[in-house]
């Protein structure tokens, strides 16, 4: 009624600074006046008289206006500040949360970590001292890997590990097209002399000098006229040729042999490069994210073991020389061949990486085959038979080792996860706990999904903000930024985001932690479908509940609002969602009840992603497309609605709700994911971590290494007993 | 009877809280309830109620919520106020205060 409106407008005039509050108070007073006037009418008064009496009963309008302003001014001030903050700060804060999450997500840095020049992840160095960083990276100004390694050795000249690391890089330039470069020999020998001074108890530098000198002073080639039989891991016997040697520089060759003998008398035998790697890995600390593990793996892969080839070459040369000497009737050939066996025993017993052990194994076979031949040439049958027996014992030991335990059982692969399924070494008895890395992989995918969800919401918030701004620019009256109330916002965040995530979280955790849990190499398609459904459900619920809350609030303050979703529309939406959900359910049930991993269509390595994950990707795409279409349809319907005030109010008020949800969920879920990843990373430092220096410890090859130690002891005992005989 | 305005104003808070302790009410309903309970002795100037309600709402002693009225007015929405937990504590405090104040004034006036 017109009189009503005028009176109410006068009373609420002082609340004009808060349009929403003014409208609400006006609506309350109007309802009061209507109730009051109706009662007067029921008492027999006429329309106008009743209205006048109702207005009179309300009191003096000016006094009431003043009183209302006094009662609400604190609230108005507070709401003005909150509105200002919501308009200006919420969207940037939401974007900052997303950017923070993206930056803290090292998954994005994996590639740069793997392919960076120093092989270290970008995040490395946060808590490291300058000295530790120097040990990890070397002099930043150095232009090559060798110079970086040199800078570390130069800074700590007495450290044998740093020098060993530098020496490994220095060796790289010694060969050109597979042949030694005599012009670099002196430099390398000088460097090895320096190494001997830094690391005096280590046989490595002497043996390596011997290898270098023998290599440049002789040529070694296959001697097809002289062969021996070798038994492989399956028990199959094959014939291999011995080598024949041509010494081109006897003086240097003999100097080499001198160095070889001198070196073997020393107690240590190590090139130090794996010690350097372990030292660096210890500096990197607990991996916090999957990317840290990938980066450290990349660092391990980049470790060089160039001396192995040199030592193998030395073994061949000295053995061939011993056979040659034996053919000439020289008894010292026995001692030479035994020296090679001793070197192999010491290499094997001190090996850290599997490749070292395997080279030692091959070297010992060469040495024993050579010793057998030396015995035959010297007419010492006992020596030849003993050497043959010991070689056969080694071959049988290795064959048994590989026969007793299969390398990797096929049923293990679906549980291994992306990284392990590709990188897992195929070793007998390899003990590994897949869970930490599997968890980290799953959390990485969840991290990406969270980022996608938040990015979707922030794009929607941005669209709403722009739509509101467009409305503001085109019309003089500003749309109201509604206070839907903390409770409503809390309920929206709780029911539309926290509840779905709280339901999915334990399920996802169970999927990873249960003893027979599958890795992403096997389950990525199912996980993608689940995440697509979750993303759509959260977005739909968030928009639907925000729409409902804003609509309700509009009605409360007297803004005309469209009717709620009509049954016909709801039926349509529900039918479409139901169909997609049914398709997803069938897919997931098939996934669980379908063929078993070892024979099923998905039991492939993670690298075959396009074929393996097609059904999952297609369904995830369909679910997301349906969700996007639904949102688009609702937005178009809203834009075309004939209620401009509601439309503009919705756009202006939905933006802060979405931003609040992004901030709350981004911080809370992001922190939870980070904690989960760090915790899994801590577990991964146990059996789950990949370390080449632990391959022997974790597999049955440790028995072979122990055997090498025993063989070494036996060889020493034999050598000690010979003079007495 | 016309009470002093100061007296009326001072009594609004405990009366509103007392009215709401059993059920939630909207403004006009409260006015009617006071009139009925006091047999018209305490006849509020209706406008004084709303600033008081807003003050109590801002202080968190009562909470307002829009909903449809019951009975014959079912289609119409009104703002119903309900007492909060701190409102109940405030009511207990105000009632005790009023009892003591009443005793003191009575003692002065009648020597009881």
Which residues in B lie closer than 8 A to residue A36 (C-beta atoms)? Answer: 28, 46
- Residues A225, A244 within the same domain: yes
Which residues in A lie closer than 8 A to residue B48 (C-beta atoms)? Answer: 59, 64, 67
Nearest-Cα distance to chain B for A51, in Å, is: 14
- Residues A234, A369 within the same domain: yes
B36-52 per-position pLDDT tens digit = 888 877 777 787 889 99
Task: Give Cα separations from B1 to B5, B29, B38 (angstroms).
Answer: 12, 21, 11
With a cut of 50, say whether residue B80 has pLDDT above it: yes
Nearest-Cα distance to chain B for A44, in Å, is: 18
Q: Given B28, B47, B79, which is nearest A59 (Cβ)?
A: B47
Alpha carbon distance A661, A454 (integer Å)? 9
**B79·A59 Cβ contact <8 A:** no
Where helices occur in A43-60 by DSSP H, the ranges are: 47-58
Nearest-Cα distance to chain A for B51, in Å, is: 5
- Residues A595, A705 within the same domain: no
With a cut of 50, say whether residue A599 has pLDDT above it: no
pLDDT band at A525; cut points 50, 70, 90: confident
- Lowest-pLDDT range, A68-82, A323-337, A613-627? A613-627
**B54·A36 Cβ contact <8 A:** no
pLDDT at site A112: 52
Which residues in A lie closer than 8 A to residue B47 (C-beta atoms)? Answer: 11, 58-60, 63-64, 67
pLDDT at site A689: 62
With a cut of 50, say whether residue A724 has pLDDT above it: no
Q: Given B28, B52, B55, which is nearest A35 (Cβ)?
A: B28
**B50·A63 Cβ contact <8 A:** no
Which residues in A lie closer than 8 A to residue B77 (C-beta atoms)? Answer: 31, 555-556
Q: Give the total residue count for chain B.
A: 112
Read off the pLDDT of each residue in A480-488 and give the average, rounded to a whole number.
83
pLDDT band at A476; cut points 50, 70, 90: low
Please give the helix or strand (H or E) that residue B77 lies within, else none: strand B77-83
- Final residue of a domain: which of A88, A105, A123? A88
* A113 domain-assigned: no
pLDDT at site B112: 57
Read off the pLDDT of each residue in A653-664 and give the average, rounded to a whole number.
90
**B47·A60 Cβ contact <8 A:** yes
* A646 domain-assigned: yes
With a cut of 70, say whether residue A600 has pLDDT above it: no
- Residues A536, A604 within the same domain: yes
- Residues A460, A519 within the same domain: yes
Read off the pLDDT of each residue in A59-78 and give the average, rounded to a whole number.
90
Which residues in B lie closer than 8 A to residue A559 (C-beta atoms)? Answer: none
With a cut of 60, say whether residue A205 has pLDDT above it: yes
Alpha carbon distance A547, A543 (integer Å)? 6
Beta partners for residue B54, in sequence order: none
CB A360 within 8 A of CB A398: no
Nearest-Cα distance to chain B for A553, in Å, is: 9
pLDDT > 90: percent of chain A: 30
Which residues in B lie closer than 8 A to residue A70 (C-beta atoms)? Answer: 51
pLDDT at site A471: 75
With a cut of 90, say whether residue A319 has pLDDT above it: yes
B90-103 per-position pLDDT tens digit = 999 999 998 998 89
Query: Is residue B40 less than 8 Å (CB to CB) from chain A?
Result: no
**A75·B58 Cβ contact <8 A:** yes
Where helices occur in chain B by DSSP H, the ranges are: 5-20, 27-37, 49-58, 85-110
3-state SS, residue A663:
helix
Read off the pLDDT of each residue in A268-295 and give the average, rounded to a whole number.
81
Please give the residue of chain B at the shortest CA–CA distance from A31: B78
- Final residue of a domain: which of A50, A65, A88? A88
**A36·B79 Cβ contact <8 A:** no
A667-682 per-position pLDDT tens digit = 998 898 888 888 888 8
Read off the pLDDT of each residue in A545-573 and give the average, rounded to a whole number.
80
**B66·A556 Cβ contact <8 A:** yes
- Lowest-pLDDT range, A321-330, A424-433, A556-565? A424-433
Q: What is the mean pLDDT of chain A?
A: 83
pLDDT band at A723; cut points 50, 70, 90: low
pLDDT at site A409: 61
Higher pLDDT, A213 or A569: A213
pLDDT > 70: percent of chain A: 88
Which residues in B lie closer than 8 A to residue A63 (C-beta atoms)? Answer: 47
Interface residue of B8, B27, B28 to substitute, partner A, most A CBs within 10 Å? B28
Nearest-Cα distance to chain B for A67, in Å, is: 6
Alpha carbon distance B82, A31 (integer Å)? 18
* A393 domain-assigned: yes
A223-273 per-position pLDDT tens digit = 888 888 888 777 788 888 888 999 999 999 999 999 999 998 898 899 898
Which residues in A lie closer than 8 A to residue B28 (C-beta atoms)? Answer: 31-32, 35-36
Query: Is residue B5 less than 8 Å (CB to CB) from chain A?
Result: no
- Residues A570, A613 within the same domain: yes
**B51·A68 Cβ contact <8 A:** yes
pLDDT at site A708: 93
Nearest-Cα distance to chain A for B76, in Å, is: 9
Task: Give Cα separations from A249 to A215, A218, A245, A700, A708 (angstroms).
Answer: 10, 7, 12, 44, 34
**B77·A57 Cβ contact <8 A:** no
Q: Given B50, B66, B78, which is nearest A68 (Cβ)?
A: B50
Of A505, A511, A503, A507, nearest in space to A438 by CA: A511
**A555·B77 Cβ contact <8 A:** yes
pLDDT at site A484: 81
Give the best-scoring range by mean pLDDT among A360-374, A495-509, A606-620: A360-374
pLDDT at site A17: 87
Beta partners for residue B63, in sequence order: B82
Which residues in A lie closer than 8 A to residue B50 (C-beta atoms)? Answer: 25, 28-29, 32, 64, 67-68, 71
Task: Give Cα separations from A461 to A98, A489, A546, A623, A649 (angstroms).
Answer: 13, 15, 12, 22, 14
Q: What is the mean pLDDT of chain B?
A: 86
- Lowest-pLDDT range, A446-460, A596-610, B66-80? A596-610
- Residues A532, A671 within the same domain: yes
Alpha carbon distance A626, A632 (integer Å)? 10
A120-144 per-position pLDDT tens digit = 655 555 678 889 888 888 888 888 8
- Residues A212, A358 within the same domain: yes
Please give the residue of chain A at the shortest CA–CA distance from B32: A36
Give the number of domains in chain A: 3
- Residues A578, A667 within the same domain: yes
* A148 domain-assigned: no
Read off the pLDDT of each residue in B26-42 and give the average, rounded to a whole number.
85
Read off the tokens for A41: 């009418």
Q: Given A29, A36, A59, which is nearest B45 (Cβ)?
A: A59
Read off the pLDDT of each residue in A146-166 and give the average, rounded to a whole number.
94
Nearest-Cα distance to chain B for A42, in Å, is: 15
With a cut of 70, say whether residue A517 has pLDDT above it: yes
3-state SS, residue A598:
coil
**A35·B48 Cβ contact <8 A:** no
Alpha carbon distance A230, A238 (integer Å)? 5
A688-710 per-position pLDDT tens digit = 566 777 788 888 889 999 999 99
With a cut of 80, say whether residue A632 has pLDDT above it: no
Which residues in B lie closer than 8 A to residue A58 (C-beta atoms)? Answer: 45-47
Q: What fold characterizes domain B5-110?
A: Arc Repressor Mutant, subunit A (1.10.10)
Nearest-Cα distance to chain A for B104, in Å, is: 31
CB A138 within 8 A of CB A151: yes
Domain locations in chain B as residue ranges:
5-110
Higher pLDDT, B100 or A619: B100
CB A384 within 8 A of CB A337: no
Structural domain of A6:
2-88
- Residues A685, A704 within the same domain: no
Read off the pLDDT of each residue in A432-453 and give the average, rounded to a whole number.
86
Nearest-Cα distance to chain B for A518, in Å, is: 50
- Residues A396, A450 within the same domain: no
pLDDT at site A485: 79
Query: Is residue B94 less than 8 Å (CB to CB) from chain A?
Result: no
State the count of interchain CB pairs (< 8 A) between A and B.
Answer: 63
A576-585 per-position pLDDT tens digit = 778 878 887 8
pLDDT at site A317: 94
Q: State pTM to two decimals.
A: 0.72
3-state SS, residue A404:
helix
Tracing tokens 């391990």 back to the chain, one arrives at A300
- Residues A503, A598 within the same domain: yes
Alpha carbon distance A532, A534 (integer Å)? 5
pLDDT at site A95: 93
Beta partners for residue A176, in sequence order: A179
Read off the pLDDT of each residue in A105-116 and give the average, rounded to a whole number.
54
């Amino acid at each position: 009624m017109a009189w009503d409106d005028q009176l109410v407008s006068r009373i609420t005039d002082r609340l004009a600074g808060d349009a929403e509050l003014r409208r609400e108070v006006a609506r309350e007073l109007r309802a009061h006046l209507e109730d009051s006037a109706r009662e007067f009418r029921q008492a027999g008064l006429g329309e106008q008289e009743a209205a006048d009496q109702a207005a009179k009963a309300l009191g003096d309008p000016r006094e009431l206006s003043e009183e209302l302003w006094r009662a609400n001014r604190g609230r108005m001030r507070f709401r003005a500040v909150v509105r200002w903050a919501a308009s200006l700060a919420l969207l940037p804060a939401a974007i900052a949360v997303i950017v923070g999450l993206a930056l803290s997500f090292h998954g994005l840095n994996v590639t740069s970590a793997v392919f960076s020049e120093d092989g270290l992840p970008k995040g490395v160095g946060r808590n490291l001292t300058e000295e530790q960083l120097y040990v990890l990276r070397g002099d930043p100004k150095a232009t090559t890997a060798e110079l970086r390694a040199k800078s570390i050795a130069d800074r700590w000249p007495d450290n044998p590990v740093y020098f060993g690391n530098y020496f490994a890089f220095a060796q790289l330039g010694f060969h050109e097209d597979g042949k030694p470069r005599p012009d670099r020999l002196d430099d390398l020998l000088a460097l090895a002399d320096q190494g001997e001074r830094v690391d005096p108890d280590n046989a490595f530098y002497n043996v390596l000098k011997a290898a270098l000198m023998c290599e440049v002073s002789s040529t070694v080639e296959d001697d097809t006229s002289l062969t021996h039989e070798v038994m492989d891991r399956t028990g199959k016997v094959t014939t291999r040729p011995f080598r024949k040697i041509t010494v081109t520089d006897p003086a240097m060759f003999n100097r080499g042999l001198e160095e070889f003998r001198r070196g073997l008398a020393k107690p240590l035998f190590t090139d130090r490069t794996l010690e350097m790697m372990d030292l660096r890995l210890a500096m990197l600390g607990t991996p916090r994210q999957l990317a840290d593990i990938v980066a450290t793996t990349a660092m391990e892969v980049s470790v060089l073991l160039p001396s192995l080839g040199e030592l193998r070459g030395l073994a061949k040369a000295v053995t061939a020389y011993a056979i040659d000497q034996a053919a000439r009737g020289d008894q010292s050939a026995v001692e030479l061949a035994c020296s090679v066996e001793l070197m192999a025993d010491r290499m094997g017993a001190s090996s850290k990486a599997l490749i070292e052990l395997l080279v030692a194994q091959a070297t010992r076979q060469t040495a024993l085959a050579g010793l057998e031949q030396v015995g035959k040439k010297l007419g010492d049958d006992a020596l030849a038979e003993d050497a043959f027996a010991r070689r056969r014992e080694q071959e049988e030991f290795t064959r048994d080792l590989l026969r007793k335990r299969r390398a990797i059982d096929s049923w293990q692969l679906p549980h291994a996860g992306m990284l392990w399924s590709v990188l897992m070494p195929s070793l007998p008895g390899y003990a590994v706990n897949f869970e930490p890395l599997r968890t980290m992989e799953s959390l990485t995918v969840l991290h990406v999904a969270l980022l996608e969800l938040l990015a979707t919401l922030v794009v929607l918030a941005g669209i709403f903000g722009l739509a509101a701004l467009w409305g503001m620019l085109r019309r003089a009256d500003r749309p109201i930024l509604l206070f839907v109330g903390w409770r409503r916002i809390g309920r929206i965040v709780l029911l539309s985001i926290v509840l779905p995530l709280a339901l999915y979280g334990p399920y996802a955790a169970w999927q990873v932690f249960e003893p027979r849990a599958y890795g992403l190499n096997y389950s990525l398609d199912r996980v993608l479908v689940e995440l697509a459904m979750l993303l759509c459900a959260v977005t739909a619920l968030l928009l639907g509940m925000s729409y409902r809350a804003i609509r309700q609030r509009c009605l409360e303050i007297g803004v005309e609002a469209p009717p709620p979703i009509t049954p016909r529309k709801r039926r349509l939406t529900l039918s479409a969602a139901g169909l997609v959900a049914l398709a997803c359910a069938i897919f997931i049930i098939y996934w669980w009840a379908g063929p078993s991993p070892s024979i099923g269509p998905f039991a492939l390595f993670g690298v075959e992603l396009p074929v393996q994950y097609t059904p999952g990707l297609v369904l995830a795409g369909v679910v997301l497309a349906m969700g996007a279409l639904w949102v688009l349809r609702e937005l178009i319907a809203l834009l075309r609605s004939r209620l401009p005030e509601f439309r503009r109010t919705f756009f202006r008020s939905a933006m802060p709700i979405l931003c609040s949800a992004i901030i709350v969920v981004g911080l809370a879920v992001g922190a939870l994911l980070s904690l989960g990843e760090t915790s899994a990373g801590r577990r991964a430092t146990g059996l789950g971590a990949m370390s080449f220096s632990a391959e022997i410890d974790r597999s049955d090859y440790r028995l072979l290494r122990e055997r090498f130690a025993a063989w070494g002891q036996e060889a020493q005992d034999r050598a000690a007993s010979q003079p007495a005989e | 009877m016309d009470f002093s305005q100061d007296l009326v104003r001072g009594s609004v808070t405990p009366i509103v809280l007392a009215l709401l302790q059993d059920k939630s009410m909207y403004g006009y309903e409260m006015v009617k309830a006071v009139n009925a309970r006091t047999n018209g002795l305490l006849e509020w100037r209706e406008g004084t109620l709303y600033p008081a309600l807003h003050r109590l709402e801002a202080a968190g002693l009562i909470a307002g919520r829009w909903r449809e009225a019951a009975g014959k007015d079912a289609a119409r929405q009104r703002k119903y106020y309900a007492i909060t937990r701190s409102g109940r504590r405030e009511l207990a405090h105000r009632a005790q205060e009023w009892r003591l104040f009443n005793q003191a004034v009575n003692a002065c006036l009648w020597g009881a």
